[in-house]
Structure formats: structure tokens, C-alpha cells
Amino acid sequence: MEARFYGAGLPKCDTASLPGHLVVLEGADGVGRSTHIELLQGWLEGHGFAVATTGMVRSELTRKGIKAAKEGHNFDRTTMALFYATDLADRIENEIMPALRSGFIVLADRYVDTMMARGAARGLDREWLARLYGFALMPERTFFLRLDPDELIRRTLRRGGELDYWESGRDIGLAPDLYTSFRKYQALILEEFDRLGERYGFTTVDASHGVEEVQAELRRELAAMLDPSMFVTAHDGTD
Amino acid sequence: MTIREPHRYPGRLIVVEGIDGSGKSTQLSLLQTFLQSEGYDVSFTEWNSSPIVKDTTKRGKKKNLFTPTTFSLIHATDFADRHEQSILPPLQAGLIVLADRFAYTAFARDAVRGCDRDWIRNLYDFATRPDLALYFRVDIDTSVARIMGGRMQLKYHEAGMDLGLSPDPIQSFRLFQSKVLEEYDGITNEFGLTVIDAKRSVVEQQREVRKLVKPLLKGLRRHGLPRSAAKTTVEA
């Protein structure tokens, strides 16, 4: 893939040859990002592609620190944006770039969009956020799994899950109760995602459809991006 | 408010900048003692000390995980946390905040490490503009002589060892900090830092520092003074 950055890029980083591909899946918790990444990985590997996965707060450098900060009560929006940016930069330089240089398909469970949306929903300046993430490598494709907040809540709760403190924007005092706060916050996040989609041009996938349908759409898109002829098998691509 | 506009908080923000061995911390500590003895409420914060970021920085240094970009970002994270927790509240409450190193340290060091200058400035755009930013300028020989003569040790990143300029820590420190000094000169003009000739004696410098600070104290509340003196201040 071509090495393009959101802004100034990374100093001292070799971007001469990146035979791999960076593909991002975005969307709220509960839309099925990790399920789809797992299915895509199996499918791609079945066709002989080397696949690496990465996701937010998985960097060796910041994993523990961010986890601890989230458990405390003093994690303000600017510090949060910068801490997550550190996490992303560490993963880009130490995981994503090396994998791309070796020809891997990197499937990223969330990327800059989530961080920009979270920051903007908390009132940070959108241009400041865009410049902050100027070091980030632009993915070849970003898929936004879109689901409206009411459906998201139902899906989460019927699986016995809880509405997460940060995913409900509890830190910014939107509402006195968790349910209302979650709905309001997720609506703000969706608004930001729509804005980001216009700016950076990603593909929105309707996540209210079943897993098979969404997966089939993702596979069609990826096959077209990679080389459709590699995916012509006995199966039609949806297993 | 940004780092380029004057703030409107009732407190005062005074920061010191300079390379290692410039004597800035000594000067700030003397200033703190003086201000406290004069009855002012003072709060102190230093570079790289946020409780929520500290462990990450430590791990990164120990395991040698940093790149110029992550090194820059983790320091900005540390600063953001301190700005929110330790700089803004005392400024809002009308205290004098003394900061040992400020965003300018990042502007100088990260640029030498190869980060884009505009990108670094954007990181710290949220910072409050100091009422007084003192830059303690020394030449590299004076700085090295002070460090070698004292108990101070050359740290890996302070010496710029991560840049591979020289395998010898002292030589690396010289090469790295000389470039940092050049960056500081540009920053001094851009952000209007007040230059202190840090080659002079501690006493001479402190005299100048207090003279520069004095006009800023007007209107600030003092405590622990005899009743009449306190009353005078309030009325003044």
C-alpha cells in the first residue's frame, strides 16, 4: 500500500516499501468488530494471506498505564487523547509498520476515527485532534460498522453485558442515569463518525444486518481491494 | 485559552527553562522559598511527574521502547495531566504556580529528535501561557562542567543517547544539547522567553529573577503577615 499520513507523518520511519495492507474496522462496542475481524482473519489466511491484528490499548508501552488511568477518577479529555495517541503511535511504529513491510494484511480493531470522535464528543477542537493524529498512517480501507444507539443498547444488554462507563460518556455528565447518558453519548459519537466519514471517506456498513450479511459485504470489498482472482474458489466467498 | 494568548486566571504562572546544568532548578527553588517567606501561596510542578503517566514513561525508558514520536507524545500526556490537575486549579484559585520546565522543553528536545515543529506546537496548544518564562542560557562547556562537578548523572535520554550521535555519553550530551540550545534560541524569539545569563553566580542570577518577578506580584493575596500589613495589602 501507499504510505500516506494524516499529517506530518513519522520521523525516522522507513516507509519506502509497504507491500501489506492496513484495513480498519470501526464502530461502537457491541457492533461485532472483533467477531468480524476473527472471521476475516480465518478467511484471509485460508486464501494464503498472512494476517496480523491490532487494537486500541494493546501497545506494550501504554497498555497498563491507560488501564490504570481509566480506573482512576482523574483522566481528563486532553490527557486521554494524548495517552491514546501514544498507544496508537507505538503500535504503528512497532507493530503495524513492520507487519506491512513484511506483506501482512493488518486488521485494526479501531483506529484514529474512534479517538477523534471521542475527543470531539468531549469538546476538544476537531482541528487540534486532526493535527495531533498527523503522525498516523492512513489505512487503505476503513469500514465503519454503524448501529443506532437503541439497537446497540438492546444488543449489549440481551447478551448480559453492561453499559460501559467510558462508552457511556459518564465522565462528561450528559445525564444523571446510565441509560440516558449512553444514548446521548453514542448519538454524539455517531454524529462525529458521520463527520469523519465525509472528511476521510470511509465505507459505512449497516451493522443492523446479520453477521453473515455484514461479513459477506466486508469480504466482497476486501477481495476487490486485494485481487478478486485470488478468491475464486469452490466457495462463493461466504463459506 | 492557548499557549499564545495571555490567560485570565487570578493566579500567576512562572516557568523556568534551560538545559541540564543551567542551574534553573536551583533558581526556582530559591524563588519559591523567597515567595513563601513573603507570605504568597505557591504551588510547584515539574516536568515528567504525572502520577498516571509516570509508570509508562519508566517502562518505556527501561525497555527502550520509545521512538521520537512516542517519546514526544508521552511527555505531552504527562504535561496535559499536570496542566489539568496541578497547574489550572492553583491558577484559578489565585496562587503562584512555579513550573520547572514547560512546553518549551518539548519544543526544543523533540525537534532535535526529528519531530515536526508545527506538530509539536499543536500538541501543547492547550497550555496556559506563562506570565513569565525564564530561560537560563548557558554554553555547553559550563553545563558539562557543572554536571561533572556535581552529583548529577548523565541520563540516557538527557544525553540524547537514543539518537546514536556518539557512544560516549558526555560526547553525546554535548552534541545533543548543543542542538537543543540552538532550538531554544528560536523558541526564545517565538514565545518571548526572558533570557537569564546563567553563567553568572547563583546570587547574581537570583537577584535578577526576583526583580523580574516583583511586578507580577501586584494584587496577589498574602497571608501570615502582621494584621496591619495584611490590611494594607488588601486595601492597596
Task: Answer whether B49 touches A (CB < 8 Å).
Answer: no
- CA distances (Å), A19 to each of A91, A104, A180, B169, in order? 18, 8, 46, 39
Q: Tell me what pLDDT residue A233 has.
A: 60
3-state secondary structure B25-84: HHHHHHHHHHHHHCCECEEEEECCCCCCCHHHHHHHHHCCCCCHHHHHHHHHHHHHHHHH
Residue B3 placed within a domain: no
Q: Tell me what pLDDT residue A139 has.
A: 97
Q: How many C-beta neighbours within 10 Å does residue B157 have?
A: 16
Q: Tell me what pLDDT residue B236 has.
A: 38
CB pairs below 8 Å between A and B: how many? 100
Residue A7 placed within a domain: no
Residue of B65, B114, B125 with shortest CB distance to A128: B125
Residue A161 placed within a domain: no
Task: Answer whether B67 touches A (CB < 8 Å).
Answer: yes
- Cβ contact (<8 Å) for A131 and B81? no
Task: List CB contacts of A198: < 8 A, sequence separation 6 or more.
Answer: none
Task: Read off the pLDDT of residues B53-108 as tens digits, 9 standing for 90 and up.
Answer: 999 999 999 999 999 999 999 999 999 999 999 999 999 999 999 999 999 999 99
Q: How many C-beta neighbours within 10 Å does residue B204 have?
A: 12
Range of the domain at A49: 21-148+202-231
Q: Could you tell me the CATH number of the domain that includes residue B19?
A: 3.40.50.300
- The mean pLDDT value of chain B amounts to 93
| ipTM associated with this complex | 0.88
Residue A6 placed within a domain: no
Q: What's the gap in Å between the CA of B128 and the closest CA on chain A?
A: 13
The Cα–Cα gap between B191 and B170 comes to 30
Residue A222 placed within a domain: yes
The enclosing H or E element of B195 equals strand B194-197
Residue A176 placed within a domain: no
Specify the long-range contacts of residues A96-101, CB closer than 8 Å, at least 24 apart. Answer: A96/A22, A96/A52, A96/A54, A96/A137, A97/A13, A97/A14, A97/A15, A97/A18, A97/A137, A99/A20, A99/A52, A100/A1, A100/A18, A100/A19, A100/A20, A100/A21, A100/A22, A100/A137, A101/A14, A101/A17, A101/A18, A101/A19, A101/A20
Task: Read off the pLDDT of residues B116-167 as tens digits, 9 standing for 90 and up.
Answer: 999 999 999 999 999 999 999 999 999 999 988 876 678 899 899 999 999 9
The Cα–Cα gap between B55 and B51 comes to 8
Residue B7 placed within a domain: no
- CA distances (Å), B115 to each of A71, B76, B106, in order? 32, 13, 10
Residue of A11, A60, A128 with shortest CB distance to B69: A11
- Cβ contact (<8 Å) for A131 and B122? yes
Q: Tell me what pLDDT residue B68 has.
A: 96
Range of the domain at B140: 12-235
Residue A209 placed within a domain: yes
What one-character-per-residue DSSP string does chain A give?
----BSSS--TT---S---SEEEEEE--TTSSHHHHHHHHHHHHHHTT--EEEEETT--TTTHHHHHHHHHSS---HHHHHHHHHHHHHHHIIIIIHHHHHTTPEEEEES-HHHHHHHHHHTT--HHHHHHHGGGSBPPSEEEEEE--HHHHHHHHHHTT----TTTTTGGGTS-SSHHHHHHHHHHHHHHHHHHHHHHH--EEEETTS-HHHHHHHHHHHHHHHH-GGGG-SSS-S--
Residue of B55, B69, B122 with shortest CB distance to A64: B55
The Cα–Cα gap between A81 and A115 comes to 7
Residue B5 placed within a domain: no
Residue A32 placed within a domain: yes
Q: Which residues of B11-20 are buried (b: 16+ CB within 10 A; e: fewer)?
A: bbbbbbbbbb
- Structure confidence at residue B1 as a pLDDT band (50, 70, 90): confident
Q: Tell me what pLDDT residue A228 has.
A: 83
Q: Tell me what pLDDT residue B231 has.
A: 47
The Cα–Cα gap between B132 and B140 comes to 24
**Tens-level pLDDT at each residue, chain A (239 residues):** 999 999 999 998 888 899 999 999 999 988 999 999 999 999 999 999 999 999 998 999 999 999 999 988 788 999 999 999 999 999 999 999 999 999 999 999 999 999 999 999 999 999 999 999 999 999 999 999 999 999 999 999 998 888 999 999 999 999 999 999 999 999 999 999 999 999 999 999 999 999 999 999 999 999 999 988 888 765 554 55
Q: Could you tell me the CATH number of the domain that includes residue A70?
A: 3.40.50.300
- Domain tally, chain B: 1
Residue of A12, A82, A134 with shortest CB distance to B77: A82
Strand partners, B42: B96
Q: What is the mean pLDDT of residues B171-176?
A: 95
Residue B4 placed within a domain: no
In the 8-state DSSP scheme, what is residue B86?
I
Task: Read off the pLDDT of residues B198-222 as tens digits, 9 standing for 90 and up.
Answer: 999 999 999 999 999 999 999 999 9
Contact B79, B127 (CB under 8 A): yes
- Domain tally, chain A: 1
Q: Tell me what pLDDT residue B235 has.
A: 41
Q: What's the gap in Å between the CA of B123 and the closest CA on chain A?
A: 6
Residue B110 placed within a domain: yes
Residue A46 placed within a domain: yes
